[in-house]
Structure 1
């Protein structure tokens, strides 16, 4: 009987790239300078970043040559990827580490000059705002933590097999990169930083619906989830060359003060096709509110600012005296209100979708004064109450999505409470909320009517109740998790007292039952 020939199924592009990245990360695990994925991901990111830039530069150089134009590279020899990283038998070991880390070093072409990171940090654009400025800002907050130059050479050889000149590979890598970001997010949660699930981001972008020509901002952009989703949303609206130019140059803006999220955001946006990410590496709260004028305002803000964290005293002085608070979420809410474009010359005012913790809804004092301004000067029209565990494993704090516009005072506020899927108690890291669960809300958004999950309240009633936005669903059972603290404590005490009464009754029954 003839033996059947065994054939291997060819690997897809996704499998090949996934295998390359896994191999690179496996190599990194052997390096003693790296401590877990929180170190390995940024290491792999800056390596991918430089490979990506070099591939893009090659494409632009070819295009310029064909058009008879002069090409000015962002990175000059011998610092391009092709000069020091592309050859499998290129510089390695201590020589490679010295070239990357040292301020002055022997370079791959045999000359003495600045080390790689020193050179990259000192780049300057001709007129500001070009790719050289982006590169310089990225590497100001980047450190090479690998200490073994031979392992680093192995990593670079793996990455060198990824070709960013192929659109399929760029698309596939962007998805793989999103997976890597999710892995890094498992270590998040410090200083109130909770990365937003993609399903929540996609929903917020869809219902806010940024249009081509809008200026969109995320003042606490993290790894760029809202900006990437907005970019994809706007890209579908591009029909002409000038539309693409507007999208690339005038539409997407962000800010994040932490070096690691800043680097990851840049890479994330570049991989998705935004050629010149305009991300501010500073704290968005560093500017006094009174200095923010019409030229600084934007059409759309989509964001999940840190909550639970605290800002330093110097930041608080940028806010009105009666609205100063250490709670970061409330400071960002004030900043956003100030940054939204005012309705001028027939043009509509700006609009916002923001994630807030439940405490923002029922908070009093400074929080109530901020909400007073929100209701009197902005149209807070919708509050979507998210189910329990959406931000697991980072936090169990109940969260809400606020949607408001700068076009006059609020008149009535719609609430929509998203239920957990049947049989689920909460979401988890391995079973997160899916975008499909937002479909009923999206349909309701177009034709609003009260139902078991949706209800509306007049702004006047909210004002009468001390600006407490924590309004329970009149059509559903009361959820203790959404009670204000004082009511929650009272409810727990009542239950504890009732338990004590029952225990005493049981004790008496038992005592009577064992009498001689």
Structure 2
């Protein structure tokens, strides 16, 4: 199948499945819940197809499940279909922990209570397609696009697990994954970074890969961690459909709190950790009421103990890097200038790692409103006694004079092409081709700044501030106002939360 045919088939599948999402929304089924149900049903359908392949039959479900699975649902309708479906979910979720079946089906529930809608989804939308024959690329791409559309469903909060694909691709192109790399994402969401890294390696080295490299790439060199079970199952299915992991092997997506332990070392870490500032857990008291308690991780390898989740992820990613290794991580602005623990972390990061590039991102590109973020690129290297590993930090300002919104002007791949070209023009930031968007800072200059503030701005002329003719369209201005207000509200909420915690502490004295 040609590339054009692949794209056309992907669009057909996405449009077909998405059209039914609109029907289910009227029933109260959110986009992310719909994609979750597709995860369950696609697994059962593909397992059935592969087990009945005449040329190369492959058993995916346990041998004791012979005759069970999709065959139990096919052609059924009404309450009997609903009963069988819910029984299947419960039985599959009861499989041994640590297996793909338990990850995908653990705690699974049927969200489609209307039996007519459930029957149409099973018998028509999924049942009439041959998912194995069409190929994992088409199916994986279709599933990935459904996840992308689901991220725009603000009511479900799905956007918090989704990084814009053009940004992911740019970060992957800059870090240039190879078959020799071990690659991870400690906050993997639906698996976008892992998929992009895998695709980059296959596209660049496909003909050179030997059998062992192909096996390692698919089974052990790429893995992710996700705290939320529902999101982890989406990531697992997403990777499986793209040929990463196996239906009957070990999990490549781990459901756990990545910050709670050191974790396996990796040559390359790609991540967009959660934007929320506080690490917290929900505690149910004896009276049945739920309260939130801040969490400070007791990691002896961390430079400092803090309840700030964003700062903890920076520490975790740095410590997870193998030697040598490289990282590209999305961080909000406050990670660059926050005092206290933030200053300690930045000072140590600049000394112990080669922090060489900072990309200032424009607003309006994330599903979480009001976010001002950056991409921090740093490497782990063999240290020189008494010398900091960071010598030069190049800051690329892609924020000033850039205006994006999710609907009227979404971020596209070509918007980041100039940055990627500049990044790849030389290994060292000071040797890269000149750009008016770039300023290079020495290590001594950085650590001399108040609180080691890395929020470096001011060399790119803000055209909108001086030229009245450059005023933006009203809808863009309105969107930016909304984003700024959302950012302000988030800051106020953080302050209120901190004040509440202080008051609680004083009251307990």
TM-score, shorter chain, exceeding 0.5: yes
- Structure showing greater radius of gyration is 1
1: CA distance between counterparts of 2:19 and 2:147? Answer: 17
- Is 1:269–2:239 an aligned residue pair? yes
Question: Structure 1: any 5+ residue segments left out of the alignment?
Answer: 1-10, 66-70, 102-114, 343-348, 490-516
- Is 1:297–2:265 an aligned residue pair? yes
- Is 1:226–2:197 an aligned residue pair? no
SS in 1 for 2:132: coil
- Is 1:427–2:405 an aligned residue pair? yes
TM-score, length basis structure 1: 0.75
Aligned counterpart for 2:227 among listed residues 234, 248, 257? 257
After TM superposition, list the pairs within 5 Å mapping 1:362-377 onto structure 2.
362-377=337-352
SS in 1 for 2:359: strand
Aligned counterpart for 2:13 among listed residues 12, 17, 28? 17
Q: Does structure 2 conserve the Cα–Cα contact (< 8 Å) formed by 1:455 and 1:473? A: no
Task: Tell me: CA distance 1:146–1:79, structure 2 relative to 1, closer, same or farther (3 Å).
Answer: same
SS in 2 for 1:184: helix
2: CA distance between counterparts of 1:478 and 1:425? Answer: 12
- Is 1:438–2:426 an aligned residue pair? no
2: CA distance between counterparts of 1:303 and 1:214? Answer: 16
Q: Displacement, 1:375? A: 0.7
Aligned to 2:102: 136
SS in 2 for 1:316: coil
Q: Displacement, 1:329? A: 1.1
SS in 2 for 1:143: coil
TM-score, length basis structure 2: 0.76
Q: Does structure 2 conserve the Cα–Cα contact (< 8 Å) formed by 1:355 and 1:402? A: yes
- Is 1:95–2:80 an aligned residue pair? yes
- Is 1:361–2:336 an aligned residue pair? yes
Aligned to 1:121: 93
When structure 1 is superposed on structure 2, of 182-191 and 151-160 the one drifting more is 182-191
2: CA distance between counterparts of 1:136 and 1:385? Answer: 40
When the two chains are superposed, the root-mean-square deviation of aligned CA atoms in Å is: 3.0
- Is 1:340–2:321 an aligned residue pair? yes
Aligned to 2:286: none
Task: Tell me: CA distance 1:194–1:23, structure 2 relative to 1, closer, same or farther (3 Å).
Answer: closer
Deviation digits for residues 292-328 of structure 1, max 9, x if unmatched?
6xxx211110000002242125741323597222221
Aligned to 1:63: 56
- Is 1:405–2:405 an aligned residue pair? no
Q: Does structure 1 conserve the Cα–Cα contact (< 8 Å) formed by 2:297 and 2:307? A: no
Task: Tell me: CA distance 1:211–1:178, structure 2 relative to 1, closer, same or farther (3 Å).
Answer: same
Report how many aligned residue pairs link the two structures.
426
After TM superposition, list the pairs within 5 Å mapping 1:173-322 onto structure 2.
173-188=139-154, 193=160, 195-236=162-203, 237-238=205-206, 239-276=209-246, 278-287=252-261, 289=262, 296-312=264-280, 315-319=295-299
2: CA distance between counterparts of 1:432 and 1:77? Answer: 48
Task: Tell me: CA distance 1:57–1:479, structure 2 relative to 1, closer, same or farther (3 Å).
Answer: farther
Q: Displacement, 1:474? A: 2.6
Q: Displacement, 1:15? A: 5.5
SS in 1 for 2:269: strand
Q: Displacement, 1:265? A: 0.8
Q: Does structure 2 conserve the Cα–Cα contact (< 8 Å) formed by 1:259 and 1:281? A: yes
Aligned counterpart for 2:115 among listed residues 149, 153, 161? 149
Q: Please list every run of at least 4 consecutive aligned residues from structure 1 whose deviation after the TM superposition is greater than 6 angstroms.
A: 478-481
Question: Structure 2: any 5+ residue segments left out of the alignment?
Answer: 1-6, 281-292, 384-388, 427-431, 466-479, 489-509
Aligned counterpart for 1:451 among listed residues 435, 443, 457? 435
